[in-house]
Chain A
């Protein structure tokens, strides 16, 4: 259907975001939560790129002189996503190093059991 055709990228991106948020809210294993964080990041980046798309557009690179610039997609969301992907990678790397140390201290990765700090 044409509705699905035009909105498939948005639906896909938000599907990923909702799946990622569900994993973070519900699962107990720390590694699953970190994977959920990765899925959330991917969904947000996909959403940002699909905001910039123009139908029947091409990449904004003038590889041969005289290319028509009327049908190029928006370059700004691509620059934003470049930054967002690197920031997501940085957070995931730090999270995984903390998970390694947490396992060494507690011998388990179950977030329900890692609750030494109380009220």
Chain B
């Protein structure tokens, strides 16, 4: 009975959406906002990766909200999974020597790769969120391979707060210096070099640290719980 109702609802939804999609042909240019960003992007922001300039500069307020959402999820997860009593610690079987050594060898390389991605966010595909996720996967590798290590809780909380605070403070500095929140007030430099694009690399570095430590603390909470 429930299946029939569900299938009926989904058929109505599918018909409705296809009626609307018929007006949005695939593969044709539809926007004026996108064209403006592509044409004016380099002069106005200095970043050659137009997606980065859209994410951080033109629609930076959305990115602030997204950073907040991730912060809320990490705190909410910590609040739901806090245990006041220490349960009995499970006997963890230590990993073999090859696995242990291999993980320790790979971990700094993964960290360097993640940092490369978020530092060069304005020049190549990538950015703060992608780099932060790669750093967190390095931490996951350590949890799986060298099983008794845990991250330093205080350091990761500090990294989270400082990352978010840096983003808001840069926005407020833009308000103080130029009259607009999140104004790109640092010099734009020469395009296609590392030190260009004003505030964009600074924001992305802050986001990279924040996301990396946040996802690592989420993984830490989940492993502690089980």
Binding site for B on A (CB under 8 A): 6-7, 9-10, 14, 18, 21-22, 25-26, 50-55, 59-63, 65, 69, 72, 74-76, 78-80, 82-83, 86-87, 89-91, 93-94, 96-98, 100-101
Contact = CB atoms under 8 A, between A and B. Distances in A.
Contacts of B9: 25
Which residue among B3, B38, B222 has the maximum number of chain A CB atoms within 10 Å of its CB? Answer: B38
Q: How large is the interface on B (under 10, 10 to 19, 20 to 34, 35 or more residues)?
A: 35 or more
A14 B14 CA distance: 8
Given A79-B55, A87-B69, A101-B80, 19 more contacts: A6-B27, A14-B17, A21-B13, A25-B6, A54-B27, A55-B27, A60-B49, A60-B50, A61-B48, A61-B50, A63-B124, A72-B50, A75-B38, A83-B55, A86-B69, A86-B70, A87-B66, A93-B218, A94-B77
Contacts of A54: 27-29
User: Interface of chain B, helix or strand or loop or mixed?
Assistant: helix
A77 to B, nearest CB: 8
A18 B54 contact: no
Contacts of A98: 80
8 nearest A-B pairs in the assembled complex, by CB-CB distance: A90-B73, A55-B27, A74-B34, A60-B50, A25-B6, A79-B54, A62-B48, A97-B77
24 contacts: A6-B25, A6-B27, A10-B21, A10-B26, A26-B2, A51-B30, A59-B125, A62-B48, A62-B50, A62-B191, A63-B123, A69-B38, A72-B38, A75-B38, A76-B34, A78-B54, A79-B59, A79-B62, A89-B70, A90-B70, A91-B73, A93-B77, A94-B77, A96-B222
